[in-house]
Amino acid sequence: MPTITAGQPADASEASSGDRPAPADSIDEALSVFLSVRPRLFGMAYRILGSAADADDIVQSVWLRWQMKDRSAVRDAPAFLATTTVRLAVNLAQSAHARRETYIGPWLPEPVDTSDDPYLGAECDDALELAVLVLLEKLSPNERAAYVLREAFDYPYRQIADILQVTEANVRQLITRARKHIRSERQAPASATEQRRLLTAFISAAQEGSVVKLEGLFTADIASYADGGGIMNVARIPVRGRSLVAKYIAKIAGPFWASVTLKMIDTNGRASLVMLRAGEVIALATIAGSKRRINQIMWVMRPSKLTAISRSLRAARASSAGPGPRASRRRRRVT
């Protein structure tokens, strides 16, 4: 996420006409309030947009607005910050939807590492998995926002109506339509434990290049999606059907798996496989399963969508390596 600096000036466009710069001595308090809800703000924006980079931008914009706001007039700071976040995310989702209509190949959300924060600020969740975010992308921005606020953050209908500036009856309709869409498109998901087992079995069969073993793991209507964004040399249309997907995966077994290092991590609340070449992340694969079978394989290969995962892995390596002798001495001098 971008660095937030107390006292950072906001552009005039970030402040409404009724706002004014806050006194310098209140910035620390404003920062404390903001940081306390920042994970939730990011979680809201990310689920609505399916992009960690865009969610970061939204959160930074909310911070700029919060600095310039006359905070003495705000009765409920977390509610104000959440409302601002959702409205900005909905506005951005409207323009993003138009851009994705011309996207080259299948569009998949940008995965995020959930090993440290499995819920990304949510109190309860059914809108974090990549497979669900793909389905949410097919909804209108208001439907998506209403569903996220209700299902992931347990907001009451009245509050969602206030945030989206619609009637409560309209909110109930939005959420009902979203739920019907998710239920009609998504089979009963496997548990996290079963999903990890299926992913492990899939990787083993894929590396072996065994069509028979792969077919034994797949549902009849399985689909494999590869998001290269027109940049990477991957299939630009989904590969569908048990036999076709098994043959497709087996065909690339030799040259592909031999040249990469594999690492299992948790992304979006589910097990995923990161592929590295020369220490750099080149792809991420995950699966969605139901009834002990895999019905979706998702390959994220567009470099810009792997930035957050790469950053998270570098941070984990640095943390496990420790500060080192010289860094340790510097830290002692500071303290």
Query: Is 5 or 284 the better-scoring residue by pLDDT?
Result: 284
CA distance 145 to 170: 13
Residue 11 has pLDDT above 90, yes or no: no
Does the CA dihedral 265-287-274-236 come out positive or negative? Answer: negative
Residue 7 has pLDDT above 50, yes or no: no
**pLDDT confidence band for 146 (50 / 70 / 90):** very high
Amino acid 205: pLDDT: 95
Residue 139 has pLDDT above 90, yes or no: yes
Percent share of the chain, pLDDT over 70: 88
Structural domains of the chain ordered from first start: 12-185 (no CATH), 192-320 (3.10.450.50)
Residue 5 has pLDDT above 60, yes or no: no
CA distance 315 to 119: 19
Amino acid 21: pLDDT: 53
| pLDDT tens digits, 202-258 | 999 999 999 999 999 999 999 999 999 988 888 899 999 999 999 999 988 777 788
Is 202 buried (19+), middle (13-18) or exposed (0-12) by CB count in 10 A? buried
A 10 A CB-CB count for 33 gives 17
Residue 164 has pLDDT above 90, yes or no: yes
CA 241 to chain centre: 27
| pLDDT tens digits, 286-311 | 999 987 899 999 999 999 999 999 99
pTM as predicted: 0.86
CA distance 221 to 286: 17
Residue 106 has pLDDT above 60, yes or no: yes
Residue 12 has pLDDT above 60, yes or no: no
